[in-house]
Amino acid sequence: MNDSNELQKKVEAALAEVRPYLEADGGGVQLVGIDEAAKIVKVRLTGGCACCPSAGMTLKNGVEAAIRKNAPEIKSVVAV
């Protein structure tokens, strides 16, 4: 398996960990893509998370923290 597939699996596993918490509040998260050169993950917050005033905090403290725990090589997570 190549590094690209392995990194995507790590990111997807991290998103699977946080998804139930987001869904409990009527939201969700989708992986849009991974910029492997810059080590940036792009996600889309959906449902209630898309327009929530706390979305930035959810992104950094929840989604990014989980992704960086599973894939420490990732430098940043951005919402698109």
- CA-to-CA distance for 65 and 61, rounded, in angstroms? 6
Taking the model in full, what pTM does it have?
Answer: 0.90
CATH code for position 7:
3.30.300.130
Task: Supply the range of the domain harboring residue 66.
Answer: 3-79
Write down the pLDDT at residue 1: 52
Q: Which amino acid is at 25?
A: D
Give yes or no for a contact between 51 and 25, defined as CB atoms under 8 angstroms apart: no
Q: Give how many domains the chain has, as a whole number.
A: 1
Place of tokens 């509040």: 25
> Each residue's pLDDT tens digit in the chain (80 positions)?
567 789 999 999 999 999 999 999 899 999 999 999 999 999 999 998 888 888 888 898 899 999 999 999 999 999 99
Write down the pLDDT at residue 54: 87
Write down the pLDDT at residue 7: 94
Place of tokens 């910029």: 35
